[in-house]
Structure 1
Amino acid sequence: MKRATTIFVFMLSVCAVAYAQQHPCFEVTIDQLQKHDDCVDIAYKVTIHTSEVSDCESVLLDFYLEKNEHKIDFKPILVNGQSRNRTYKRGVALHNLQRNYANADVISATDPDTEIVYTDCIPHEEWMNGSVLYVKQAVWGCGSQLTEKIFALKTLTVPPMKLVDPVVTVVEIVPEPQPQPRVKNGVAYLEFPVGRSVLDLSIGKNLQEWNKIIGEIRQIEKDEDARIISVEIIGYASPEGTYALNERLSRERAKALSNQILLFGNLSLSPDLVRSSSVAEDWDGLVKLLEERPLPYQHEIMRIIENIGIFDGREKAIMELAHGNVYRTLLKEYFPKLRRTEYRITYMGK
Structure 2
Amino acid sequence: MKKMKNNSLLKTHYFIAFIAFIAFMAFYSVPAIAQNYKGSVYVESTDFSERNDSLIVCFNIKVEANAVPNCSSMYFTPELRNGKQTMDLPYVQLNGKTRSKINSRWFMVASDEWLSLYDAPQMIVNANKYTDENMTYQTTLPYESWMDNASLFLRQELIGCRSEVNLYTYKLNDRVKLAPRAPYEVQSLVALVAPKAEVKTRNRQGSAFLDFQVGRSVILPDFRRNPVELGKINDAFLEVMGDQDAQITGLFIEGYASPEGKYTSNDKLARERAIALKDYIKNRYMLAENLFSVRSTAEDWAGLKQKVEESNIAQKDRVLAIIDGSSEYDAKEAQLKGLSVYSTLLRDIFPELRRVEYQIDYSVRNYSTTEARQLMNTNPENLSQLELYSVALEYGKDSPEYKRILMEIIPKYFDSDPVAMNNAAALLIENGEENTALRLLEKAPALPEAWNNLGIIYMMRGELDKAADLLNQASVGGVTEAAHNLQELAKKKEDE
Shorter-chain-normalised TM-score: which range?
0.3 to 0.5
Q: Which has the higher strand share?
A: 1
TM-score computed with the length of structure 2 as normaliser: 0.33
Higher normalized contact order (CA 8 Å, seq sep 6+, divided by chain length): 1
Q: Which is richer in helix?
A: 2
Structure with the greater alpha carbon radius of gyration? 2
TM-score, with length taken from structure 1: 0.46
